[in-house]
Structures are given as C-alpha cells and as structure tokens.
Structure 1
Amino acid sequence: MSFTTALREAAYRPREMFLDAGSRKGTRALAREILMMDAADYAAAFRGSAIKRATLWMLQRNACVVLGNIGTHKDLALLEAMLVHEHEVVREHAAWAVARLGRHPPQ
C-alpha cells in the first residue's frame, strides 16, 4: 500500500536545478552552479520560492562546504575565486574547502 499521491500542484514541483541533486554528481553540480550565481541569477532561479530566506552568500557558503566534502580538484579554481568574496564567511569556508581538497590526490 502506498500513501503517496502524484503531485498535482505546480507551485510545489521541484525547480529544474534540483532534479538531479539527490546524487553525488548532481549535488556537486548544484554547488558549482550556486557558486557561479550572481544576484540576478539568484533572483531568477528562486523567484517565488521560500528558499530566498537564505541569501545568496549563505547558499554560497554552504556550497563551499559541499565542495570541500565531495568536490574534486576540478573544483579548486571555482573555490579559489570565492577567496575574494565580499562576505568573510564565504571566504573562510572557501579557504577551508581549498585546503581540504588540496590534501587529497586528484580524482
């Protein structure tokens, strides 16, 4: 017996960018996408979404943590770009991720 029903309300469907986020590869890709966003990209991607309670820099901080945990050396350049982010917390988490990935051999 299943207690689930098909989703009928379009407002509650997941955004396109989250559809593959359940896999390690998808999570890494989503983190990279968030780090590459600017304010306009963020506003467009999350228009009408409650996730906008978290600001872009907060999501970027989290994306640095994600890449520090599951990223590869291919993510280093993007993380290094975050070392000059306007928010200190993002810079700190980017530095942590860069140091962490630098200790692991290339994948």
Structure 2
Amino acid sequence: MKTPQPSKNREKRTKSERLEARLTSVQKELLQHAAEIEGTTITDFVVRSAQAQARRVIEEHTRLQLSLEDSQAFVEALLNPPEPNARMIAAAAEYKRANASK
C-alpha cells in the first residue's frame, strides 16, 4: 500500500481542510519549543510530524500484514506440502549420494 505524498506546490494550492486539537499548556510549550528549534511554525511542525508518524504507522501495519500472510503460507506449506517435483527428487538423491559415505 503506497501512502499518498502530494507535491509541495499542489499541497500549498489545495490546503482547504482544517484540523483542531485541544492541548494542555505543557503540550503546546513543548511543540512550540520544538518548532522554534527547527525554525518553523508550530502548525507546520505539527502537520509534518503527524504526516511522518502516519506514514510510519501505515508502513508498520503493511509489514505486519505481509508478515502474517507469509507466516500463514509457511504453516500451510508445512501442513500440506506440495508433491516433490523431478528437480527436488534429483536433489534429494544427490544429497543421499554425497552423504552416504559420511
């Protein structure tokens, strides 16, 4: 799943949505201080930080989802293995020949 990443120019032209949040004075001071360190406004800092965290959450969810699907496929292959093909039979025979004298 690819996360949407609009270009900066398009983002500036189409900013029409609003997000409001209630903060404690301590939270606001923390965000303001961080924004000042980065030389940006508190709004830009919060939006950029929220976008970065949103991307991390989506990526993590995608990795976990794929990991779960891979695990299920692995267990399915263990419980219901496919019939060996000619190449696998030949490899097993070669392995037995190579290890017969050991």
| TM-score of the alignment, normalized to the shorter chain, above 0.5 | no
TM-score for both structures, normalised by structure 1: 0.24
Greater C-alpha Rg: 2
TM-score for both structures, normalised by structure 2: 0.25
Q: Greater relative contact order: 1 or 2 (C-alpha under 8 angstroms, separation 6 or more)?
A: 1
